[in-house]
Amino acid sequence: MQERIQKIIARAGICSRRKAEDLIVQGLVSVNGRVVCELGTKADPDHDEVRVQGKRILAERDDVYIMLHKPEGYITSLSDPHGRPTVMDLLRKEKTRVFPVGRLDWDSSGVLLLTNDGELAQKLTHPSYQVSKTYEVKVKGEPDENALKRLRRGISLAGRKTAPAEVRIMPRKGKHTWLAISLVEGRNRQVRRMCEAVGHPALKLKRTRLGPLNLGDLPAGKYRYLEGKEITLLRKLINPQRARIKKQ
């Protein structure tokens, strides 16, 4: 059965579908020895030879789903031209090639999903699926009720208002305040920018939940494979009628 090439590449675990489209446009993908640059091009993964940057890909592979507790000081990337540590340095023992789903800033910590399931990765990060994310944020000072209401109702960032968020003060004592913030958007450094906008800059940020995935007591820098029920819940987020777990 013929499928779009970018879907074949993503399902093979090479990269996300969006990244695969970039590779196609750049002329780095070939089918049966012929370079293709059109995104609508299709191929049969069972009979055609698809290569990415000269390397043949195999469509059949086991799906791997990993939850990493990303520490601060790591780049969410497969590699870094400046030699900075990346999250992949924490998975050196993992034999299967996986890639991060979404991102966490280098100075943030918490839940990060890595997988070779390109289709699931693309949908989990697409705004239309509105996957909820929860952060524990240490902010400077003590926000008053007006600041909390602004965070909950939405704040204009670069001329575009953020979607409503759930915000509550956490029962922690100290000079500064800890907030639990849940939202469905994922703009660049959004939580930090929101806190800055209300006059209470974020001093520390940790993502504790991504959709149905809860960080729990997983230590910083460690990772674990998702359980079957967690994979099922992820699949229900992107396709509730056809949620299923592929054989691992």
Residues with a catalytic annotation lie at: 105
Instruction: Report residue 63 as tokens.
Output: 């799906």
- In angstroms, the CA 136 to CA 167 distance is 10
DSSP 8-class letter at 169: E
**N- to C-terminal Cα separation, the chain:** 23
| Bridge partner list, 62 | none
